[in-house]
Amino acid sequence: MNPELARAESLIASIADYPQPGILFRDIAPLLADAGALRATTEALVAPFAGSFDVVAGIEARGFILAGAAAIAAGVGFAPIRKAGKLPRPAAAVDYALEYGTATVEMHDDLPSGTRILLIDDVLATGGTLAAGREIVESLGYVVAGISVLFEIEGLGGRDVIGDLHTVFRSA
């Protein structure tokens, strides 16, 4: 790992028992506030997929931040995947389980069929959120060109659910 990425990783704070007891929350706010760390991680998120995608899609909420930065860095557009009830005209919705509850995501169908999408989120834990993201992208006729996450929590089965993906940082 290069020194910029190592420094970026050191900025991720671990918060015990948030949002409920037993959950170890990875707070990326300190990383996002540091221009060098944000630049290094954004570049690392998209590098393996350079030239293979037309749009970056991010999953609400922290995935939006990373995906927006990645879209700008790659010179492509951004498509939001939002929590239920946040879009004025959702074209598709997918329900999924999280490690501490359930949720629904929605997405518009503003892109041409066959658009190649790089799907980005902040953390891979059990894989439910990214699986829902992949499902909604594909249900709308788009192609998942790749999946990239900032931080993978190993041992929670997320990689088993998602399969091949790129992670910048990993933790047990």
146: nearest Cα among 84, 73, 70, 91: 70
Catalytic residue status for 135 = no
Say if residues 151 and 123 touch (Cβ distance below 8 Å).
yes
Which one from 4, 43, 99, 135 is the annotated catalytic residue?
99
SS (H, E, C) 35-90: HHHHHHHHHHHHHHHCCCCCEEEEECCHHHHHHHHHHHHHCCEEEEEEECCCCCCC
Catalytic residue among 9, 26, 60, 62: 62
88: which 2 tokens? 């004025």
166 beta partners: 148
What values do phi and psi take at 152, rounded to 5?
-110, 125
Return phi, psi of residue 27, to 5°: -90, 110
- CA gap 2, 8 in Å, rounded: 10
Catalytic residue flag (residue 4): no
Catalytically active residues are 62, 99
